[in-house]
A and B are shown apart, each in its own frame.
Chain A
Amino acid sequence: MRRMLLRSLFPLVLPALAVACAPEAEPTDVLLVPSRITYPSVGGALEYRCATLDCHGKPERNLRLYGSSGMRLAAEDVPGDGETTDAEHDASYRSVIGLEPEVLSLVCAEGGNEPERLSLIRKARGEEAHKGGARIVRGDDADRCLISWLAAATDEAACARAAEDQSE
């Protein structure tokens, strides 16, 4: 099932990869990525935890996240005003999948197995040096949201709760 879902995403991903970098030789493999379609739910869970202007809402970060309460993409948009735009989700998504593409592909290919192979997960959990400390806790809603997304089975309910509980 999961495999099928991933495969069905291939055609969406390939053109993007082809435009971004031209391989020297014929590619023998395709890099797998988690869903762009459900990314906005994941982005919502990360917004207040990670994407504030003093953290990953800074343009100089490797992981660069955009959002309505943090860094905006359009020149006329201001933090704290309106909703996160689709273009912003797109930019954040690209940043997330671009961090460690090969490892990400492995994790995806194995149905989200051992997600802590990704520094994204280790840093978010505070298991690896991270200026922002532990922003998610293994097994909490934000963690489940992120992990389930990597397993191509995004737990929308967990994502929604994680987006909610940051604004208390």
Chain B
Amino acid sequence: MSTLTQKPASRRSVPRWSSAVQFAGVFLGIAGMGCTNPLQEGAIADLGPESPAIPLGPLHRPGQPCLVCHDGAEATELTVAGTIYERADATKPIPDVLVHLVDARGTAYVTATNCAGNFFVRPGDFTPEYPMRVAIERDGFRQEMESPVNVDGSCASCHTNDPSPRSAGRVYLLSVAATLEDRCP
């Protein structure tokens, strides 16, 4: 499905010296890895400092694009992660929401949100092959995402707090009048 092949035609006409150029490119790439990636650094800085009230861990940074940091270098690698809110227009996160993920191979994985509304998936548990389908569920309420996720495991890359031409708004469970039992302190 995702095997990538080069067009052979573009290989044949490559002159000799280009392998030297390629070698230099690889070398530069490696040298570059020692330094930080300015784009990622900027993206991380944009997310602001940790909240002093919340320890670094599963409950931190709700609503943020977790994988910006959780790439295995900057912080522990996660493959899919995000935050789920009660309603589209409310800031209240909800726990115990089941997050159903089904990848291109048809492999299904289910996890649940914690008291920050956060959920996260570790690579040893599930590394999806994209595209991936998403649905969420609790107490008989269910929401499905119609379009698939094609490459990005951070829900908040597309679901930022404010809806805009490039954001679907928060991920929310309730679209009808209902109340959920409060299960968090």
Contacts and interface: CB of A to CB of B under 8 A. Distances in A.
Using C-beta atoms within 8 Å of the partner chain, give the interface range for chain B. 20 to 34
A59 interface: yes
B158 A53 contact: yes
Contacts of A75: 164-165
A54 B164 contact: no
B168 A79 contact: yes
A132 B2 CA distance: 7
Main secondary structure of the interface of A (DSSP, over half): loop
Main secondary structure of the interface of B (DSSP, over half): loop
B159 to A, nearest CB: 9
Interface stretch (A105-113, A123-131, A142-150): A123-131
Contact of A129 (B1, B6, B146, B169): B6
B5 interface: yes
Contact of B4 (A77, A79, A133): A133
B49 to A, nearest CB: 27
A54 B168 contact: no
Contacts of B7: 122, 127-128
A77 to B, nearest CB: 6
Given A72-B165, A78-B165, A78-B167, A55 B150 contact: yes
A52 B166 CA distance: 10
B163 A133 contact: no
A86 B76 CA distance: 44
A70 interface: yes
Contact of A69 (B1, B131, B146, B157): B146
Interface string A57-78: 1110000000001111111011
Interface in B1-46: 1-7
A13 interface: no
10 contacts: A54-B149, A54-B150, A72-B166, A78-B167, A78-B169, A79-B166, A80-B147, A80-B168, A130-B4, A167-B147
Interface of B: 1-7, 130-131, 146-152, 157-158, 163-169
Given A47-B147, A131-B151, A133-B2, 14 more contacts: A48-B131, A48-B146, A52-B149, A53-B167, A54-B150, A54-B152, A57-B166, A69-B147, A70-B147, A71-B166, A74-B165, A128-B5, A128-B6, A134-B1
